[in-house]
Amino acid sequence: MYVFDNNSSDDTVKNASDAGAVVYSVKNQGKGNVVRRMFADITADIYVMVDGDATYDASCAPRMIEKLISEQLDMVVGVRKHEDKEAYRPGHTLGNKMLTGCVKSIFGGKFTDMLSGYRVFSKRYVKSFPAMAKGFETETELTVHALELRMPYDEFDTPYGARMEGSASKLNTYRDGIRIAKMIIKLYSSERPLIFYGLLAILFSISGILIAIPLASYYFETGLVPRLPTAILSTGLIILSAISFVTGLILESVTIGRREMKRLAYLSIPVKHF
């Protein structure tokens, strides 16, 4: 077992070492930075990743591993089921549902708990995952990676309890929710560029046309352009619309090539038969 310590100020390192775990220290603050180091430094056939806050049920790990093996999956996500109101704040529940719904509507899939920190991975998944996130938005990145490469995945219901007394969550409902939303937008623009920039093109063109309609009407009646700055603005919006559309076309071809490279990296890792 490996414990990755991210600048903790308690006895995590000592207690983990005394319990027989191999302890790594990650100085760059943020869960995404830790996940990047975990996936880079550890080589295994199957990975079980869990937050070290004693809220997840460890007894589910063997069954999640069995599910990964028997169904030949690349990822199993532990869906948190909680009865204790202290385990999961209402704001977190609502935020998780909203963000999970956003990802499902954009990228598809059937995830119900996208932000769960309890997951089992295959070696193929881990070694093909380009971890870029710095903080808690890493779960969004993990989810989208599986969806974009069309990896086989599933979920597994796991009990979720309250944090131990004296322990406080580092997750901030609003700050980290905004970060996760920004990550979704970033992934949408990079993984669905034609749609993303196409929508911008439509927005710019509609705005430009609406501004130009009264100017065009007055011009056809009098032969004069009454408000030159407005005409320039309308022209600029139409130009921006064309630029956005062409940008989407170019980036779409780049994204397809990048996705193919990630797929080849995924396929280059031998399958372990258990």
Q: Is 9 exposed, middle or buried (0-12, 13-18, 19+ CB in 10 A)?
A: exposed
Task: Dump pLDDT digits (tens) for 83-113.
Answer: 665 555 555 677 778 888 888 888 888 899 8
- Give the pLDDT confidence score for residue 155 in this predicted structure: 95
pLDDT digits (tens, 9 = 90+) for 114-128: 889 999 999 999 999
Look at residue 254 in the predicted model and tell me its pLDDT.
Answer: 94
More confident residue, 95 or 52: 52
Q: Which residue has the higher pLDDT, 175 or 198?
A: 198
In this prediction, residue 85 carries a pLDDT of 58
Q: Residue 27: CB partners within 8 Å, gap ≥ 6?
A: 7
Looking at the domain that runs over 49-191, which CATH code has it been given? 3.90.550.10
pLDDT at 148 over 80: yes
d(C-alpha 68, C-alpha 146), whole Å:
14
Q: Tokens for 155, please give them.
A: 């979920």
- Gap between the Cα atoms of 118 and 124, Å rounded: 18
Whether pLDDT at 165 is above 70: no
Classify residue 59 by its DSSP letter: G
Closest CA to 154 of 181, 206, 116: 116
- The CA-atom distances, in angstroms, between 68 and each of 101, 106, 128, 143, 150 are 24, 26, 17, 16, 16
Q: Which helix (H) or strand (E) holds 38?
A: helix 31-41
The residue whose two tokens read 């997951």 is 119
Instruction: Note the pLDDT of residue 182.
Output: 82
User: Which residue, 41, 10, 12, is CA-closest to 127?
Assistant: 41
